[in-house]
Chains A and B, each alone.
Chain A
Amino acid sequence: MRRALAPLLLLAAAACAGEEADLVVYCALDAEHSEPIVRIFEERTGLRVDLQTDTEQAKTVGLVQRLFQERERPRADVFWNNEIAHTIRLARAGLTVPYRSPAATGIPASFRDPDGHWTGFAARARIILHRTDLPADLQPPRRVADLIRPELAPHGGMAAPLTGTTLTHFAALSLRLGREPVLDWLRRAKESGLHIGRGNAHVMRQVREGDYGWCLTDTDDAAKARRAGYPVAILFPDQEEGGAGTLLIPNTICLIAGGPHPEAGRRFIDFVLSPEVEAMLAAGDSEQIPLHAGVAAPPGMKLPGRDFRPMEVDWEAVAEELEAVLPRFQELFTE
């Protein structure tokens, strides 16, 4: 009996030995990029950071769910999201507090919350990734809407708009073009032969393997395919005269209300919003597009305003639209 109890007592002892961090960051960005940045912050400040990362398995809402569930006793100080919609949801639910970082002054106002609850930086663009070895008579669509044209649809793919940036993208389109036209377009997309994948990385892989010619995805996934030596290239859609422009989805960062280390949280936000970190993210293999004016972008990187026209977006309205359309999208794509 005593021998049987000993391991349990040890377990209990081990459980109490948890060392408290000086700062807790919930981060939905690729750990391979966020970890080095956090390490630099730790070296410079001497603060110990507990970096909590997210996974696709829980459909990128693992940490968001945790933030909601922990709202009575918040454990996170900062939420660093790799997109924007969930961040706005958190802000609207009262889970964030305003913080206007001095480091964010160089970031365009359209990527900052007017009330200071969140700030956007280092964006990804929603682009068409296409193979460069397509037959001469087969050209990728130049507009998102053209993905479902009968002669093009069987050669292309996109992720189901249920999660991540694809959901945000179609919520933005729904706001811009009207909910019913977008739902109708999605309905037709399902019938058109367009390949509907489980995520952006997934459709990128299909194009990479030559399963189909092009897909709607994000620049970071496209960059990985190109860097891994596959014959692919990027096309910024909806650049024609009067077109909507290409959607840019920024990383966002916010301070959690009632977090245990608000001061350290502010210091971390200042650091992450610095041009230096944006430059690091741009140089990384996910090639995040810097939003600060004047950040040195790697050679070949296309920049908004200079190389392509970004879509103008009211993010608050997009987040609201997302909540309204998600159940409709789910009905459409879960059968």
Chain B
Amino acid sequence: MPFLSVTGLARSFGRSQVLVEAGFDLERGGRLTIAGRSGSGKTTLLRILAGLERADRGVVRFDGVAASDGRRILLPPWRRPVQMVFQDLGLWPNRSVRRHLLDPLAAQGVPRAEARSRTRALLARLGLAPLARRRPGRLSGGEARRLAFARALAPEPELLLLDEPFASLDPVARAEGLALLDEVLAATRAAVVLVTHDPAEARALGGEVAVLRRGRLAPPRPAVEVCADDETFRRELAES
């Protein structure tokens, strides 16, 4: 039984049909990139997986248990084994870096001592330890991104959703971002679904790539095939 199973997912906003019969399976610890052009419905798909958005039709299952079924959200976001890194990061302006990790752990009932040690370790691993007491307003763009990843990793999710986390970065920052992705992948055994239109990110993630074309999700193929080179990837997207 696949860890994550998505079948027949459909969603429209008004007359615009964003997702049509999208479906895929993902094994525990698997890696999948959803590639598509801007506005192709990638983020909507991710949000449905997280339980933040309703579908019109289709089913999302975790370990065979339905989490979303048609318009019904059977498992609310906080009961799913999922964390997400948002495109705009979604940091909490009035909490320190440390609190971004500690507070979710506390909310999930992790004992205080364990929460502290996990927080310390993760901050150290992602190079945020010296900034532990800062608030997001006083972080650089790169530091803020690291924090968003650290927060998503702290509760040790089984599925990590990444919504174009390195979009619109300059080449240097993007290279740093990819390095960060490597660090993150090394730090987690979670399955990862990445949404992007950047072949380098898809290559860095590895696993498989599914291209979203006019709301229809093509069957996943190995990343090495779809992203063999930038030109191949561009052609795949252009067809969508």
A–B in direct contact per CB < 8 Å: no
